[in-house]
Amino acid sequence: MAVGDGAVSAQPDGALATQGESAQPDGVPAAQSESAQPDRGGAARAAIPKLRSREHGAAVPLQEADKRLLNLMQGSFPIAPRPYEHVAGLAGIDEQEAMERVQWLLAKRIIRQVTPIFDTRALGYSSMLVAAKVDPEQPHRAAKVINAHPGVSHNYLRDHDFNLWFTIATEPDSPLGLEGTLEVLAAQAGATSVRQLPTLKLFKIRMDLEMQGDTDALAAAAEASDPVELERQPYDELDIAVIRALQGDMPVLPEPYAPAAAELGMSQERLLAHLEGMRERGLLRRVAAILYHRRAGFSANGMGVWKVPEERVLEVGRQMAAVRGISHCYQRPTYADWPYSLFTMAHGRSKQECDAVLDRVGELTGVSERATLYSSTEFKKIRLLYFTDEFKRWEAENAGR
C-alpha cells in the first residue's frame, strides 16, 4: 500500500445519501446545575463518537422558539459573563427559559455540546482530509482502526472507489508526524491506497445549520470573503491551560465560564479577557452550540467537488464560500485522475436540498464540472481535544514512540 497513490473515479451527482423519538412537549425540563463534563487537564478522556441508530438518529420536531434559539446558539453565543442572558434577549425570552430549552435540546440529542471551537491549524497541529480505499465488504473493520486515533475527528463511508473519508490531526511535537501516522493507520486498516488531500487554501469553515430558513435561504449568497490564514500562531502555557480547562462540554449555567476560571485560579473577568485575546490571535474561532445534524432535521450532507482552473480558484472559492448552505470550502491538490481542486460541503434536510444548494453554487460561479459524494455511514464525528495525553499514548502503543 502506498500513501498518496491510486486512481480515484468520480461519482455522478446521484451518489448514495443517508438518512424515534416523540415530539417536544409544550414544557421543557428545568435546567440542571451542571452538565456532564470531560476529565480536564493532560489526562482528558478521549471524545466519544455519537451513536448511530434509528433511536438516536431520527429528527425531532421542534417548536419555532427552539429553532430560533438554535440559530442564536450556533452564531451569537458571546464571550461574556452571562451569555445565556444575551442569547435570551435576542430570542425574546428570559435567561432561565433559554437555559431550560438548551438543557432540553441537549437531553434530546439535538445539541451535541456547547463548547469553544479552537483552531487546529493556528495551534500548530498538522491536519488533512484523507481518502482511503478499504475492503468494501468490511469497511467497519478499517473504520474501527482509523477511529482509534485521537486526532481523527470525522470518518465517513462514501459511495466511491475511495470509500473511507476521514480527517486527521497530529500534535505539533509528534515524533511520528502526520505522514508517519498515516503510514501506520493505512497498514493497520488494510488500505490498498490512500489519497492525501491537505488544505491549500481555506475559504470557509463554519458549521452552523440554518434552522428557520428554507432551501432558498440555504442557497442564498452573501458577500464573498478572502481565504483564511492557515499558519501556526504564537501561544504560551497559559493559552494551553485555558484550552485544557475550557474544552469539551460547557455547563448550562448563568455563568458557564466561571467553573473554568475557578479551575485556573483566576477571575472570570480575566478569563473572558484572555479568551477575547485568543480569538483576536486566531487561536479561538468562537464559542457555540454544535448540533447533531440528523436530529436537527438535516439528514443529508453532500461533498461537492469542483474542477476549477488554477487561475480561477481564488475568485471561485470566495464565491462558493459565500453561499449560506455551504459550511466548508477548501482548495485541495489535484491529480491526473482527480481533477477537482475545490471542495464544498452542503448540508440539507434532504439530498434534493443539498443538490439545490450545490446547483446554486454552480450557477453563481459558472462552474459545471462537479461530482457529489454523499455519506452512507458516519463512523465517527467528534471535536478534537487538544493537549491531552491521548496522542502520545497512541503513538507509544502503535508506533513504539
> Which residues are the active-site residues?
154
- 3-state SS of the chain is CEECCCCCCCCCCCCCCCCCCCCCCCCCCCCCCCCCCCCCHHHCCCCCCCCCCHHHHCCCCCCHHHHHHHHHHHHCCCCCCCHHHHHHHHHCCCHHHHHHHHHHHHHCCCEEEEEEEECCCCCCCEEEEEEEECCCCCHHHHHHHHHCCCCEEEEEEECCCCCEEEEEEECCCCCCHHHHHHHHHHHHHCCCEEEEECCCEEEEECCCCCCCCCHHHHHCECCCCCCECCCCCCCCHHHHHHHHHHCCCCCCCCCCCHHHHHHHCCCHHHHHHHHHHHHHCCCEEEEEEEECCCCCCCCEEEEEEECCCHHHHHHHHHHHHCECCEEEEEECCCECCECCCEEEEEEECCHHHHHHHHHHHHHHHCCCCEEEEEEEEEEEECCCCCCCCHHHHHHHHHHCC
